[in-house]
Amino acid sequence: MRSWSIPVGRLFGIEIRIHLTFLFVLAFVWGNDKAQDATGMLRGLAVVAIIFGSVVLHELGHALVARGSGIPAKGIILLPIGGVTILDEAHAIPDPLNSWKRDIRIAVAGPLVNLVIAGLAALVLLAAVPGFSLTARPLLHSSSLLRSFVWVNVYLGLFNLLPAYPMDGGRALRGWFTRCMDMVQATRRAVRIGHVFSVLFMMVGILVGDWWLVMVGLFLFFGAQLEERSAIFQSVLQSVRLEEVMLTDFATLSPADTLEDALEKAVHTLQDDFPVVRGSDMVGVISKQKILDALRAEGNGYVQAVMQGQFDVAAKQDSLASAFRKLSARNLSIIPVVDEQHLIGIVTLQNLMHSMALLAETRKLRRAASE
């Protein structure tokens, strides 16, 4: 998703990006308003700006509350259907006892920002702008930008509070469920409720001939399904121990090896990353690519001089999820697995990709066999 978006700025240290499909919305507004004069067109664009400004405020609500409760936000991406806040779970401060409270707080923060802003704006406008009517029709139109601002925020707040997963209200509901069940069960239950809502939306949409409602229903339906799948994937990552997937048959290098020797050894294995071992001590890690680069740049030398001396180790009972977090957080490609100071295996990105696919297959087979 990130690769299809362009950065447009930072607010409170959080990067704001616009997804390229958003340009279609602008083109749509442009095309729709072609008949109008220049001011009409500008007002049309102003409405789009109001909507997306309000969406940014909504997402900032999620992002800032998340950051305040220990989960940094990587950024906000604006999509035509709304915004997404990407949270950096890898750097989250773990809080297993209160994580459901934290999830609810983060989910509710976005809609709350919109409702508070709508309330404040309404009060200020009613007091400061003579003859301003909050309830004159149409509520949302380019002919009254101020009124539109209030109602856009009311809509955004209320719509997102629907208890229909993956809307914010549904997320809060899932947080509430995780008090007494695990994440997968809670997500399943929230998804079922979300599906009821999405079908309702579609039915009402078809009955009254409102295709926009049908679209919202479809979006909710597939959104819920996608989220369910990612929750299941996460739980697999949580439940698999490193000893189930680590490579136990692997090559090591010595810091005293020359780079040419190291390359020679590397040729005879499929490994891309090697632990560097002196006697029984782990002293570093090095990749095939690094060996090649060093050979090209400076000619032959010793592994000692090129290896990475800073590395993370894991225990065999650690979860696959924690290994992924370590790999991505420190931009590593290998994690040695140690047991009582002894190197008993390695986990590499390359081997994780392979074993994930295999693991999925064995689980499927096991499930088929038990049915």
Q: What is the smallest separation between the CB atom of 167 and Zn ion, expressed in angstroms?
A: 8
Closer residue to Zn ion (CB): 85 or 148: 85
To Zn ion, the closest distance from the beta carbon of 276 in angstroms equals: 47
Nearest-angstrom CA–CA distance, 150 and 132: 12
Minimum distance of Zn ion from residue 180's CB (angstroms): 25
Give residues in contact with Zn ion (CB under 5 A): 110, 160, 168
| The two three-digit tokens of residue 155, written as one number | 């809509």
SS3 track for 60-95: HHHHHHHHHCCCCEEEEEEECCEEEEEECHHHCCCC
Cβ closest to Zn ion, residue 106 vs residue 213: 106
Q: Least CB distance from residue 101 to Zn ion, whole Å?
A: 17
Between 110 and 345, CB nearer to Zn ion: 110
Q: Closest CB to Zn ion among 168 and 227?
A: 168
Asked if 339 and 316 count as a contact pair (C-beta separation under 8 A), the reply is yes
DSSP conformation letters of 284-299: EEEEHHHHHHHHHHH-
Query: Is the CB of 58 or the CB of 265 nearer to Zn ion?
Result: 58
Nearer to Zn ion, 166 or 284 (CB): 166
Three-point CA angle 160, 79, 168, nearest 5°: 20
Structure tokens at 131: 């003859």
Based on CB atoms, which residue is closest to Zn ion, 168 or 318?
Answer: 168
Question: Tokens 């894991």 identify what position?
Answer: 314
C-beta of 22 vs 274, nearer to Zn ion: 22
Tokens of 186: 């809670």
Minimum CB separation of residue 327 from Zn ion in Å reads 29
Q: 10 Å Cβ neighbour count for 234?
A: 16
DSSP letter string over 228-265? Answer: HHHHHHHHHHHH-BHHHH-BSS---B-TTSBHHHHHHH
What's the alpha-carbon Rg for the chain, to the nearest Å? 27
Full DSSP string of 191-203: HHHHHHHHHHHHH
From the CB of 33, what's the least distance to Zn ion, in Å?
Answer: 29
CB of 160 to Zn ion, least distance (A): 5
| Residue number, nearest CB to Zn ion | 110
In this structure, what token pair is assigned to residue 230? Answer: 């990612």
CB of 110 to Zn ion, least distance (A): 3
Q: Under 8 Å CB-to-CB from 157, ≥6 apart: which residues?
A: 58, 111, 112, 113, 114, 115, 118
Least distance (Å) from Zn ion to the CB of residue 66? 11
Closest CA to 84 of 105, 104, 58, 114: 58
Which residues does residue 344 pair with via DSSP β-bridges, in sequence order?
none
Compare residues 109 and 242 and give the one whose CB is closer to Zn ion.
109
